[in-house]
Every structure is written in C-alpha cells, then in structure tokens.
Amino acid sequence: MTDPAVHAAAALASAATSTAVAAAYPFLGLGAQAAPLLDRAATSALTAVLATAPTEVGSIRLGGCEGVRDGAEPLHLPPAEHRDGWWLVCDPIDGSLNAARGGPRAVSVVAMGPTAPRLNLADEQSIFAIGSHSVDVGAVFETGRWAEVITDHLRGPETTAFLNRDDNRALHYRLGGSPARRIGSRSGYRPSLAGAGWFAVGDATITLPLECALEFGRIGLVEARIQSTIYHSWSGLVVSRDTIYEHPQGLLGYLDQYVAARALGDTDTLRALFTAAELERFAAAGSSIEEVTTPLDRDSFGVGPGAVIAISALSTPNDQRIDFADGLLQDPVWNPATRYLHVDTLVIGPDIYEQTIVPIEVDNTAALLAPLRQWYDTMHWSSPADEPVLRAWSEGRTIDGDNAIGMLAL
C-alpha cells in the first residue's frame, strides 16, 4: 500500500470506531438486556462510516466481524470494485456486556490489512495463541516448548495476561501460576482477576497486547487476527472449544496431544481433536486438516504487519481494582454545552502510533440515527461511591428491548 492509502485507511478506521462509540454511548449502564441494542447501534454506525470510504482508501472486503455473535446485524459493505485493497476485521464493541452493565473494558476496534489470510475460518472458531513483546514465541508449537515458555514467563517479573475462561484459568494454574489475590470488575461474562505478576480479564481482550508482556490462552478468531499484528512475536493454533471441554486432561492435555500428533503426522488424531461440524466447515472452505493444524503466524494469519488498527474506548480498559491498564485509554467525555462526545482513540499502523481525542459532533453525524441523538438529551451520568469499578450509568432511565429495537430500526 502507498503512504496516502495507509493514512487514508487509518483516518477511516479512526472515524469508524469513534462514531461506533458515539452510537453505543447512550446504552451505557442500562443493564445486560441493553447489550444487543448497544452492539446493533455500534454496528449500524460502523457500517455507515465505512460505506463512505474515500477513493484514496480503495476497495474494502469484510474478513470477519464479531458483532453478529453479540446480537448485531451483519456488517454490510459496498461490493469491492477491485481485488486489490483492504481486508477488514472488526468488533463494533468488544466488551458490550461490560459497557451495558456500566463497567470498564469496552472498546470499538477496526483493523484493515492489505492481504487476506491463508486460512478461511468461521468467526466462531477458537484460537489458542501466545503473544509476546519480550520473548520470541514464533516457533513454540513446532519445538514443543510452548508450555515451558509460559511457565518461565509466569516465574519472571514481567506481566502475563489471559482471558478468564475455565480452560485458560486451569492451564494457568497447571503451568505454575500463582493464586488470584484480587477480584476486579464483575461486569463481563466472568470477573477480572489478578495475582502476582499476572491478571485475567473477564471480557474484552483486544487491548491486552498493550497491557502485558506476554498473553496466552484460548480466544476468539477476530481477536486473534487483530492481536497477532500488535504483538512483536505471536504464534497460534486453530482449536476446538467443545473438544477441549470434553478432553479428560483439559486444555493442557488437548494441546499436548495436538502438538504430538502434528510432529508424527497423525492426521486421524488431529481430526479427532475437532467436532464433526468444524471438520465440515474446514472441508467446505477447501482446507485440509494438515493446513488447518499448521501453526499460525502473525504474517499470514492475521491482518498482517502492514495493517492499520483503530481502537476507541467506550469505557476505559483500566479496572480500578486491578490497575494494569491505567492511562491506556480513557472514558468518553460528553459535553452537553457543545454537544460533542470526545472519544479517546488509538491508531496503530506502519510507522503510526497515535493516540488522540476524536470529537464527535452528535447532532451533525449522519451515522447516528435520530433516536440516538435524541437520547443524548436525557442522559445524566454519575458514579456510585460504593462501586468504584463501575464507571457510569444513566440514572432514571429504563429500556424496553422490543420497543427500542423497532425505534432504532437496527
């Protein structure tokens, strides 16, 4: 990509994520029932901005979007006129449940890469990944040293992180991780935890590469595609969540069996590590089991080293009870006098690392539907003294899901 195209793509991605945050902002703190509406509003705004891509950006193809799994409508883009262009991966709101419950860790993310990845995988596919800024993890699955690398890091002084899932947490303890000492936000699907030199987030992993030295664990496909570009070194495996849950030795036994079978070329064992539905999807995509189980790398799996990534905060990643992300991205600030929402946004790309406050003029932003603009007039924000982990919630407002869906026409 030429420099003008890269900078135009970065500006577009920044505008898309900050506008998605503005669309989701009125739903902050309304409760879990508002999470699907929050996602739909963000996806609608994201779609509207991306559809106005300037000619300098070129064609955009959709490679994956997490919003559909969170209850949003599919992201629709105009048909690409040329094969050359950008391959887009996004999550309109990573951490939508966190935001709906008024907690930290909710961001909008758009990543645009110049080439499509070598594997065509369904968005619901799981990835076991290791990403690092301090050690080379590029060949850990080929050498079989993946567990040793994690164990060594857990014993060292640098911060380790993972997504708080049962299988990830069990693996952490089996590899020598210390017990949890603090419990953070409970606003996500699971609570955030912290121990000596490590922390685990209950939801929203996109910003973890900016918060720790090494991350490991099973995460979603969209998150893995984006994270792989942010880490200095990264490696992953396509894995099966359902088969991991059924494995008698859990995630550790599953991965040991996986790596050993790959070393022996035992395709029967490798196939047995996936469900029938997953094997059917691989076959439909034209991918053999050997291709699917080849370790993933940051150059050919994710959005790639030439990508641009924009991350805008709907609520700060910083959990006051854990404090690993302090200063990373801050909450949006609504100014009712000027009617601007100021959105903290980070853009990463080739020779780009810029954090800026993007002002969204609510009344004159076509990507925000009229009902959303009107909701800004009714908001009153405050923070409860007895719940410091909660950032804000809207007082005196209720939401009727069915009526709101019809009203917003999302």
Is pTM beyond 0.85 here? Answer: yes
Q: Check whether 390 has a pLDDT greater than 50.
A: no
Q: Look at residue 409 and tell me whether its pLDDT is greater than 90.
A: no
What is the CATH architecture assignment of 126-297?
3-Layer(aba) Sandwich (3.40)
| DSSP E strand stretches across 42-105 | 59-65, 85-94
Percent of the chain at pLDDT above 90? 69
Model confidence band, residue 54 (pLDDT cutoffs 50, 70, 90) = confident
Q: Tens digits of per-residue pLDDT, 234-245? A: 999 999 999 999
What distance separates the 2 farthest-apart alpha carbons in the chain?
67
Report which of residues 405 and 194 the model is more confident about: 194
Distance CA 316, CA 333 (A): 11
Look at 37-41, 57-61, 262-266 and tell me which has the smallest mean pLDDT: 57-61
Q: Which two tokens stand for residue 398?
A: 């209720």
Output the pLDDT for position 67.
64
Q: What digits encode the pLDDT tens for the residues 61-84?
A: 888 888 666 666 778 777 666 556
CA distance 57 to 113: 12
- Burial class for 254, CB neighbours closer than 10 Å (0-12, 13-18, 19+): buried
The answer, yes or no, to whether residue 121 has pLDDT greater than 90, is yes
What stretches of 215-369 show up as alpha helix (H) in DSSP?
221-230, 241-246, 250-264, 267-272, 276-284, 289-292
329: pLDDT strictly greater than 50: yes
Say if residues 381 and 393 touch (Cβ distance below 8 Å): yes
Q: Is 102 left (phi over 0), alpha (psi -120 to 50) or beta?
A: left
Q: Poorest-confidence range of 48-62, 63-77, 364-378?
A: 63-77
Fold that domain 3-114+306-408 belongs to in CATH = Fructose-1,6-Bisphosphatase; Chain A, domain 1 (3.30.540)
Sign for the pseudo-dihedral over CA of 105, 400, 42, 369: negative
Task: Compute, in degrees rounded to 10, the torsion defined by CA atoms 405, 368, 316, 198.
Answer: 60
| Rounded average pLDDT over 185-210 | 95
Q: What torsion, rounded to 10 degrees, do the Cα atoms 205, 345, 89, 91 define?
A: 50
If you average pLDDT over residues 388-400, what whole number do you get?
40
- Per the structure block, which two tokens stand in for 91? 């999550």
User: 66-70, 226-230, 390-394 — which is least confidently predicted?
Assistant: 390-394
* Average pLDDT along the chain: 88
pLDDT of 81 reads: 60
The yes-or-no verdict on residue 397 having pLDDT over 50 is no
Among residues of the chain, what percentage have pLDDT more than 70?
89
Hey, which residues does 257 pair with through a beta bridge? none
Kindly state the average pLDDT of the residues 252-257.
98
CA atoms of 399 and 211, how far apart (whole Å): 34
Residues 88-110 have pLDDT tens digits of 999 999 999 999 998 999 999 99
Instruction: Give the DSSP H/E element, type plus range, for residue 272.
Output: helix 267-272
Domain spans of the chain? Answer: 3-114+306-408, 126-297
